[in-house]
Structure 1
Amino acid sequence: MQREEKQLEVTLQAILNRVNDLKTAIQALIAKLENEYETINWPTFLDNYAILSGHLTGLSKILQAEMAPSLRALVVLPLQLGCERDEALSRLTEGRVPACTHDLVPDLLRTKPEPQAEQRLQQFNHKASTLSYDTAQKQVAQFTKVVNHVWEIISKGREDWEGESMRSQGMQPTHSIGDTHALVTAVGTGKGLRPGMAALGGVGVGVGVGVGALGPRGAPGPPPPPGPQAPAMPKAPSAIKTNIKAANQIHPYQR
């Protein structure tokens, strides 16, 4: 019996320490939100929330330990009820509970939700159990669509906000996310590229070189400057047959 009482005392003290740490972390987070709501950023809030999660995890480990006695087998009952102020109770609860009254004790010792909340919960559970599979899938798909739409709006707003902040700081953006995605898609999958663009570019270069090689009135122009020359285009075979006669052939109507 003394061993069980000792284990219960150690467990309650560990639970009390963990609850005090959790209370301190919650107070620090609330104070930060109230006093630094204009300067606090999302990573800082997540760090503070991670501290709360760590305290809750530690409290769960204490309650699930094998050496800890089962608190479900214990019953907590008020020894005395009254409307007069109890200084010991007020000091123990840091002024939140000045007296153990008949109206306060049922809420403090409640192990089930209030009757109104329990009734609404039963209605929701009944409505969820009678919902068909197809209807549930349609609602899930609709909810997913709404979430994706909200996510796109938030992402676009974030990009606009970052662009405005960069412009306000005198830093012009040197890249475009849309152009980067389009370039990566074109290189990886060829999306947006039309076939034959390289051949057309080669013909344009060949024509430019040929025109530049002639001077005024068909006279040969100056030689091209030294440098890399454009590759010559292969001559396409003509479909028209020609018959070229020699120049020294006698004309039939020559006198």
Structure 2
Amino acid sequence: MQQREEKQLEFALENIVQRVNDLKASIASMIMKIETEYETLNWPNFLDNYALISGQLTALTKVLSHDKCPLLRNLTLLPLLLSPERDEQLVQLTEGRVTTFAHDLVPDYLRTKLEPMAESKMLQVEHKAANLTYENAQKQIAAYQKVVLHVWDIVNKAREEWEVESSSRGNTQQNSSVTDTHLLVAAVGMGKGLKMGPNPNGGNPTSGGMMVSSQGRSNVSGSIPIPPNTQSMPMNKAPSTIKTNIKSAAQIHPYGR
């Protein structure tokens, strides 16, 4: 009888450890995707990972509630050896999270109840829930449902506005030409497409203006007149009207020698 119970316990523990390892791997994979693939991760993939974790939790619950699984709450776990030195086998089993199985770590790792602070808070919540009347509970539920429905309406309205905006954006008519814009920028910045315009006063055509034209949808033309008194000036010299007064440094030095 005792040997059969030990075999059932060993078989149940193996199944539980396997289910827990699968669950741990799924949670680690999901966390890695959130941290590394947050730019490309979409909502359907996130829901698929969440559904996988939910299914694994359901499978673990079925294993624990199975008839052949012994009641683990009736069993007691006792440490066989406590040592402050590093245990390589323990490091390998815990994947490097626990290095020593010392006296200060045993109460935390072998705890079967909540921590005292968490347990006191849980008792306060349970006491408050037990003293809550049915009418107050229904009022709180109705208030929560009202808030949730209000948020749902806001989200639906924002989605409808976004869909209308995206659909209207695709049907907008083009009122500008990229080719004409490039031609105008090239004409103004680099002088492409410039032609010499006729002089209305006769004589040398260089004394007239320059006409800017672009071969596109829109034609832009204009003249830039050159004053007659500046035509005979040499282009490499400019008249200077600035007078300078340079004094010796010894005269303006505040400290004499």
Q: Please give the range of the TM-score, normalised by the shorter of the 2 chains.
A: 0.5 to 0.7
Equivalent residue, structure 1, for 2:64: 63
Query: Measured at CA, do residues 97 and 157 of structure 1 come closer, stay the same or move farther in structure 2, by a change above 3 Å?
Result: same
Matched, 1:142 2:143: yes
Matched, 1:91 2:89: no
User: Any gaps of 5 or more consecutive residues in structure 1?
Assistant: 173-255
Query: Measured at CA, do residues 165 and 97 of structure 1 come closer, stay the same or move farther in structure 2, by a change above 3 Å?
Result: farther
Query: Measured at CA, do residues 148 and 23 of structure 1 come closer, stay the same or move farther in structure 2, by a change above 3 Å?
Result: same
Cα offset, 1:164, TM superposition: 4.1
Distance 2:136 2:66 in 1: 43
Quick one: higher RCO (CA 8 Å, sep 6+), 1 or 2? 1
Equivalent residue, structure 2, for 1:23: 24
TM-score, normalised to structure 1, is 0.61
Q: Encode CA deviations 1:205-248: one digit per residue, 9 max, x unaligned.
A: xxxxxxxxxxxxxxxxxxxxxxxxxxxxxxxxxxxxxxxxxxxx
Equivalent residue, structure 2, for 1:132: 133
User: Any gaps of 5 or more consecutive residues in structure 2?
Assistant: 173-257
Query: Measured at CA, do residues 161 and 96 of structure 1 come closer, stay the same or move farther in structure 2, by a change above 3 Å?
Result: farther
Cα offset, 1:93, TM superposition: 0.4
Distance 2:121 2:114 in 1: 10
Distance 1:110 1:171 in 2: 65
Distance 2:126 2:35 in 1: 37
Equivalent residue, structure 2, for 1:119: 120
Cα offset, 1:104, TM superposition: 2.0
Query: Measured at CA, do residues 162 and 40 of structure 1 come closer, stay the same or move farther in structure 2, by a change above 3 Å?
Result: farther
Matches within 5 A, 1:100-249: 100-166=101-167, 170=170
Query: Measured at CA, do residues 131 and 65 of structure 1 come closer, stay the same or move farther in structure 2, by a change above 3 Å?
Result: closer
Distance 1:7 1:131 in 2: 43
Cα offset, 1:98, TM superposition: 0.9
How many matched pairs? 171
- For residue 66 of structure 2, give the secondary structure of its aligned residue in structure 1: coil
- For residue 134 of structure 1, give the secondary structure of its aligned residue in structure 2: helix
Letter in 2 for 1:112: K
RMSD (Å) for aligned C-alpha atoms: 2.0
